[in-house]
Structure 1
Amino acid sequence: MTGLLPFGPSLWLADGATATVAGFRYPTRMVVIRLASGGSVLWSPVAARDALVAEVAALGPVEEIVAPNHLHHLWISDWAGRFPEARALAAPGLAAKRPDLALDGLLSAPWPDSWAGTLDAVTVPGNRITTEIVAFHAPSGTVLFTDLIQQLPPEANTGWRGAVARLDRMTGPRPQVPLKFRLAQTDRRAGRAAVRRILDWPIRQAVFAHGPPVTADAHGVVAEAFDWLGVA
């Protein structure tokens, strides 16, 4: 686990603890974005450790706490409790999954006015597993993925789970869309349209919740990850 690591102008990363889902181990990462207003957006929060909360608070007021898909919800309420003035926004599906969460709104286009000039986003629909919001931080040229692209360290899972992780393409020399997400993409036309919009961004860096960031040929890495969808 780390504190805030600068990753570009007005952009920071924070690695969290390893999460275990169905016995599989996933590294976790959140992104903190400072807006032109001076407020911050917390993207896919990790655990609200005291030291990390203090670093985030030092950047300025937290305006939004974002769950970019309905799978990344574990620490939304913790951060909302620390920053009660912030709005908790969730991608489609989370309100139904977690009716106990005190959410302030659905994360969908049109995006908040406060994002103008700093953040853009695309909803990737048509997947049975989840609907993910992919964001683009314009000042640093960084695209933000949560679960759609992953690259777990090979040693994170061993035994039969390690074999499944390899077969599912969660591990490998390059970040990839896991096989389960490919098979779950029932509306391929909608998926292609969304990915084309993502690839229209001038991507220079890429950040994933489950995998190391990419700073070299990030646009090519993202395009390659979606080759299976026939985007080209």
Structure 2
Amino acid sequence: MMIQLAPQVWTALGPHLSTLGFHYPTRMVVIRLADGGLFVWSPIALTPDLQSAVDALGPVQHLVAPNTLHHMSLGDWQAAYPQARTYGAPGLPAKRSDLAFDTTLTDRPCPDWAGQIDQCVITGNAITTEVVFFHRASATVLFTDLIQHFPRDWFRGWRALIARLDLMTAPEPSVPRKFRLAFRNRAAARDALATITHWPADRLVMAHGAPVMDAQGVIRRAFSWL
């Protein structure tokens, strides 16, 4: 089911994915651009109901894989929307050579959404390279994996302990410790964060966590260790 977050912005939840027994919720965001075309961020598993709901919003023109971890459903979306262009975070086209990518994302917005959606690549992390987006009209910033927030009781047993130590279940959205430790170039990460914290963002949307307001306050506190 599509949930409207703001004018021209919707989100949808997908099935949980499991990694080493840790179950992660999935979330995508759909933004209707000024030309009526849809920008689909972090596409989740495509079902007939989801496809019908998306089609009701407009034509899918842009499929965006925002980091090197969020790509599992991309092929199904490409098959369903062959007219759409596919954009991947740096490193993803090489990782998924079985998929066709039209563009590798950079800090420069693509012409189709320039002036509407800003973007910034966070490099220097050994786990993933992530592209963060900012939709100007709704003041919404999109993080994929570098900020997460799970309910305290989401995990059970020893996984709950690991999640707590990793800050996945911290009181507010945080950068998990594994990602903090994986930053090999903190200067580059700080430069990217300086760009992101200058965006006048109100709402933070994460792939793994419920949307929250006070986006800039949350982002600054999440990255205060940096």
1:152 corresponds, among 150, 153, 169, to 150
**Given that residues 108 and 119 in structure 2 are in contact (C-alpha distance below 8 angstroms), is that contact kept between their aligned partners in structure 1?**
no
Partner of 2:69: 71
**Equivalence for 1:127:** 125
Q: Distance in 2 between matches of 1:9 and 1:199?
A: 23
1:220 aligned onto 2:189:
no
For 1:95 and 1:207, the matched residues in 2 are separated by: 25
Deviation track 1:101-160 (CA, whole Å, cap 9, x = no partner) reads 222221223321111232000000111111100000101100000000001123322111
- Determine the C-alpha separation between the residues in 2 that align with 1:102 and 1:154: 39
Q: Distance in 2 between matches of 1:207 and 1:38?
A: 22
Identity across matched positions, percent: 52
Say which SS state the counterpart of residue 213 (structure 1) adopts. Answer: coil
Task: Name the counterpart of 1:105.
Answer: 103
1:61-210 matched pairs, under 5 angstroms: 61-210=59-208
Match of 1:25 among 23, 26, 33: 23
Question: How much does 1:164 deviate?
Answer: 0.7
Provide the rounded CA distance (Å) in 2 between the counterparts of 1:102 and 1:157.
Answer: 36
Query: For structure 1, which segment, 89-98 or 192-201, has the greater mean C-alpha deviation from structure 2 after superposition?
Result: 89-98
> 1:14 matched to which residue of 2?
12
Deviation at 1:86, TM superposition (A): 0.2
Name the structure 1 match of 2:39: 41
Return the letter of the residue paired with 1:173. Answer: P
Aligned Cα RMSD in Å? 1.0
Report if aligned partners of 1:27, 1:152 keep a CA contact under 8 Å in 2. no
Number of equivalenced pairs: 226
Distance in 2 between the 1:24 and 1:98 partners?
23
State how far apart, in whole Å, the 1-side matches of 2:65 and 2:182 are. Answer: 20
Runs of 5+ consecutive residues of structure 2 not aligned to the other structure: none
Give the Cα–Cα distance (whole angstroms) in 2 for the partners of residues 45 and 17 of structure 1.
12
- Deviation (angstroms), 1:186: 1.1
How far apart, CA to CA, are the structure 2 residues paired with 1:4 and 1:12?
A: 6
Give the distance between the partners of 2:151 and 2:47, measured in 1 at CA: 24
Matched residue type, 2:130: E
Query: What TM-score do you get using the length of structure 2 for normalisation?
Result: 0.97
Equivalent position SS for 1:227: coil
| Cα distance in 2, alignment partners of residues 135 and 109 from structure 1 | 10
Taking structure 1 as the reference length, what is the TM-score of the superposition?
Answer: 0.95
